[in-house]
Structure 1
Amino acid sequence: MKLHLTGPSNTKLKDTITITGSKSESNRSLLLAALYPDIEIENISNSDDAQVMEEGLKISKGTVDIHHAGTAMRFLTGYFSTQEGKEVILTGSKRMTERPIEILVNALKSLGADISYVQDKGYPPIKIKGQHIVKEKVSLPANVSSQYISSLLLIAPSLENGLQLELVGKITSVPYIKMTLALLEEIGVETSFEGNVIKVSSKANVSPTTLVVESDWSSASYFYGICALAAPGTEITLSAYKEKSLQGDSVLAKIYTAFGVETSFGKNKITLKKTDKIVSAENEFDLANAPDIAQTIAVTCFGLGVGCHLIGLHTLKIKETDRLEALHTELSKLGANISVTDKTLTIIPSIGILKDIAIDTYNDHRMAMAFAPLAMKTTLYVNDAEVVSKSYPDFWNDLKQLNFSIKEL
């Protein structure tokens, strides 16, 4: 599906958008509910990723195809490793077979898991035979994807002796680790996180519990981008959000003050308001703890005609696509002066944005959604626009609610 986008003619916007639950929280909650049937979940994400996670957890034998869902790949690798009597082959899209899994597999095998590679060593598809795991100590490099770490932490309370996880080196994506630990504590599991060592106690059963999933801050980022590019006085209200969020991407509220967007918190909602603050020509952000908002911020800066230097982006190369190279290619097509390394992105301030450029999305939902706010400044096309269903199926309809003109070609 190819879309032609034009932003609203009246760029002073005012509306309310409801966003479903966080994909990150939903997938963690789903795994915990599979381990402990007394858990119920409310406001679960309607994303493709959450759906394939939910379906994957129901399978006990045969092939589990998670398509493009990297979170499901990591979390289900941990889950099936502990399920005695279950034997599956975990696979996904062509891109998924190019995304490394060896660090997590090695950690699980050191605990006693039975995992083998079906094709290329270090990459999916993988064959998993569930085991009764009694070993309790394992280590991982601290700078790997937090999903590897969370995969181990989520299964930890179901292990006979719990888990002691040592993270070697400088830890990144701390908010996602803390999100996992907070959910474990919410269901009554004892945890500790001191220095580079995380301990999770064993727990055979949990009391009946309802986990209420907060709406997705990553999805909110695109409305921060729209608000930043809109006229002063614009107000966009989003629900349902908490001021004390478990999600690392909630740092958006602080970051976007640099772009003239102020955030006010109400009961289960946030309101974004564009002020007439002058935006600095140069902006630097360390996104090691919130890499999923890098694309949105880069596009926002380009749309505002200001520069940015983004660091801490080392995990972006192993996402749905190499997001750094994808950003370089697509922003360059629009006229940006951009350079990237394996962990940084720099944009030099520029004037003017080329119009009617077709943005390629690389099977990456965030590429489609991050570039959409630029329709406030120019007309553009988005190729394979249906990819947004991975995390935010209602995205294009919600933009129409803000009076974006969206035509399917």
Structure 2
Amino acid sequence: MNLLLQTTHSNLQAQIAVTGSKSETNRLLLLKALFPAITLANTSNSDDSEVMEKALIGKEEIVDIHHAGTAMRFLTAFFAVNEGREVVLTGSQRMTERPIKVLVEALEQLGAKITYENEVGYPPIRIKGQKITASKVNIPANVSSQYISALMLVAPKLENGIEINLVGEITSVPYIKMTLALLNDLDVKTSFEGNVIKVYPKATVEPKEMTVESDWSSASYFFSLVALSDTASVTISSYKETSLQGDSALVEIYKQMGVDSRFENNALTLTKDINFKPETLNLELNNTPDIAQTIVVTCLGLGVGCHLTGLHTLKIKETDRLEALRIELTKLGANISVTNDSLTLVASNTINPNIKIATYNDHRMAMAFAPLALKVPIIIENAEVVSKSYPDFWEDLKSLGFNSTELTV
């Protein structure tokens, strides 16, 4: 499905309920599988969370998680410690190109039995669940935090817990802290000192309902829409001022792009600062790489330059996001350059209209570029890809006055 997006006005007014955080939901789904006394509220309705839940409750030998990278990492650890269970964990063509070796090697240090079905270092992988008694593991600190969180999440059910030594400079600390906070909510004892994380064993937990906060990565598109509007007052829910999600850094980042934020009654209202004067943006996004696409597209729409660093993990996401951004922004007329971990956009007031944006099976490519329809008509290819994290996205855009026309070619 290709969508032509356009709008006749740029004065945005709406109240929108955003689905629960995919990051929190997938962590809690795994914890619920380990501790059935937990109940969950406001879980994500994303494809990723649906395949994660299906895999955790299913009994099949072949577990296909499609494009869900989080599920691949978390389930690798889950099945590795599920004594007596044997599965082949696989996914989409792109998933077979995304590395898993660092996590497999860490689990093997603990005694896990994992083999590669095809290419060494990549899915599909065959996992023979073991009783794990070893507890000490070394893992590079600059890898995706999902590898580290995967180990932490299964640790309470290990006989001796786990002690993770992070080797080098740590990436995505907020996501590690999110995992720790959710474990602490269940009274699992943890510590994180220097480069060492400890999670202690816990046989059972008390019955408890855990409510998932709405997804901050999904909120990023509304920050972008407000920044690119003439005037706006958009309220999104449910959000807390003190969040476990690293992408809540959006509040401070988008203040630099003319968006004011106000929290009230578990909702967040975004308004446009009409006196805002844009300047070149320099940001280090080591802790929040998932919002890089949204930020650079916002800068293009505002006619400002940006230099974004700390983006090395974007190379192994749903697509090589840095290269995808370079290709698609260039089609729009942007002067952009990328390295293995950075992106530089030169300020320009020119945006080519009616450009087809390829999405590369990446939900964030589709949603990050959509706000540009406030400036020029834009075509989003394979628009249905948003279901990976935010199935209601196009309907929510309509509530803001956007027109979307499905194209046959």
1:127 aligned residue: 126
Tell me the alpha carbon deviations over residues 137-182 of structure 1, each in whole angstroms, 9 at most, x when there is no partner. 0011100000000000000001000000010111110000000000
User: Partner letter of residue 113 of structure 2?
Assistant: D
Task: Work out the CA distance in 2 between the residues paired with 1:274 and 1:215.
Answer: 22
1:402 aligned residue: 400
1:60 aligned residue: 59
| Deviation of the 1:61 alpha carbon | 4.0
Moved over 4 A (4+): none
Contact 1:281-1:349 at 8 Å conserved across structures: no
Say which SS state the counterpart of residue 161 (structure 1) adopts.
coil
2:357 equivalent to 1:369: no
Q: RMSD of the TM alignment (CA)?
A: 0.7
Say which SS state the counterpart of residue 174 (structure 2) adopts.
helix
1:193 aligned residue: 192
1:4 aligned residue: 4
Contact 1:61-1:86 at 8 Å conserved across structures: no
1:179 aligned residue: 178
Instruction: Report matched runs for 1:213-292 at 5 Å.
Output: 213-232=212-231, 234-292=232-290
User: Partner letter of residue 66 of structure 1?
Assistant: I
User: Partner letter of residue 133 of structure 1?
Assistant: I
Say which SS state the counterpart of residue 182 (structure 2) adopts.
helix
Task: Work out the CA distance in 2 between the residues paired with 1:281 and 1:375.
Answer: 22
Number of matched residues? 407
Task: Work out the CA distance in 1 between the residues paired with 2:258 and 2:51.
Answer: 38
Task: Work out the CA distance in 2 between the residues paired with 1:60 and 1:199.
Answer: 31
Task: Work out the CA distance in 1 between the residues paired with 2:279 and 2:273.
Answer: 17
| Deviation of the 1:334 alpha carbon | 0.3
2:379 aligned residue: 381
Moved more, 331-340 or 272-281: 272-281
Say which SS state the counterpart of residue 265 (structure 1) adopts.
strand
Task: Work out the CA distance in 1 between the residues paired with 2:379 and 2:230.
Answer: 23
User: Partner letter of residue 396 of structure 1?
Assistant: W
Task: Work out the CA distance in 1 between the residues paired with 2:169 and 2:264.
Answer: 36
Tell me the alpha carbon deviations over residues 24-51 of structure 1, each in whole angstroms, 9 at most, x when there is no partner. 0000000000000001100000000000
User: Partner letter of residue 160 of structure 2?
Assistant: N
Instruction: Report matched runs for 1:12-91 at 5 Å.
Output: 12-91=11-90
User: Partner letter of residue 3 of structure 1?
Assistant: L
User: Partner letter of residue 322 of structure 1?
Assistant: D
| Deviation of the 1:255 alpha carbon | 0.2
User: Partner letter of residue 143 of structure 2?
Assistant: V
Contact 1:307-1:348 at 8 Å conserved across structures: yes
Say which SS state the counterpart of residue 13 (structure 1) adopts.
strand
Tell me the alpha carbon deviations over residues 175-203 of structure 1, each in whole angstroms, 9 at most, x when there is no partner. 00000000000011000000000000100
Instruction: Report matched runs for 1:89-100 at 5 Å.
Output: 89-100=88-99
User: Partner letter of residue 6 of structure 1?
Assistant: Q
Task: Work out the CA distance in 2 between the residues paired with 1:104 and 1:288.
Answer: 20
Tell me the alpha carbon deviations over residues 256-304 of structure 1, each in whole angstroms, 9 at most, x when there is no partner. 0011101001111100010123333311011100000000000000000
Task: Work out the CA distance in 1 between the residues paired with 2:275 and 2:186.
Answer: 44
Say which SS state the counterpart of residue 57 (structure 1) adopts.
helix
TM-score, normalised to structure 1's length?
Answer: 0.99
Task: Work out the CA distance in 2 between the residues paired with 1:327 and 1:321.
Answer: 10
Task: Work out the CA distance in 2 between the residues paired with 1:260 and 1:279.
Answer: 8
Q: Percent identity between the aligned chains? A: 62
Task: Work out the CA distance in 2 between the residues paired with 1:126 and 1:57.
Answer: 17
Match of 1:324 among 318, 322, 325: 322
| Deviation of the 1:389 alpha carbon | 0.1
Contact 2:9-2:374 at 8 Å conserved across structures: no
Task: Work out the CA distance in 1 between the residues paired with 2:58 and 2:127.
Answer: 12
User: Partner letter of residue 5 of structure 2?
Assistant: L
TM-score, normalised to structure 2's length?
Answer: 0.99
Contact 2:95-2:123 at 8 Å conserved across structures: yes
Tell me the alpha carbon deviations over residues 343-376 of structure 1, each in whole angstroms, 9 at most, x when there is no partner. 0000000122100000000000000000000000
1:341 aligned residue: 339
| Deviation of the 1:59 alpha carbon | 2.5
Say which SS state the counterpart of residue 259 (structure 1) adopts.
coil
User: Partner letter of residue 368 of structure 2?
Assistant: A
Task: Work out the CA distance in 2 between the residues paired with 1:272 and 1:100.
Answer: 38
1:150 aligned residue: 149
Moved more, 53-62 or 258-267: 53-62
| Deviation of the 1:13 alpha carbon | 1.3
Contact 2:278-2:302 at 8 Å conserved across structures: no
Match of 2:297 among 285, 296, 299: 299
| Deviation of the 1:20 alpha carbon | 1.1
Where structure 1 has 5 or more consecutive residues not aligned to the other structure, the ranges are none
| Deviation of the 1:240 alpha carbon | 0.3
Tell me the alpha carbon deviations over residues 72-103 of structure 1, each in whole angstroms, 9 at most, x when there is no partner. 00000000001012110000000000000000
Say which SS state the counterpart of residue 49 (structure 1) adopts.
helix
Say which SS state the counterpart of residue 167 (structure 1) adopts.
strand
| Deviation of the 1:210 alpha carbon | 1.0
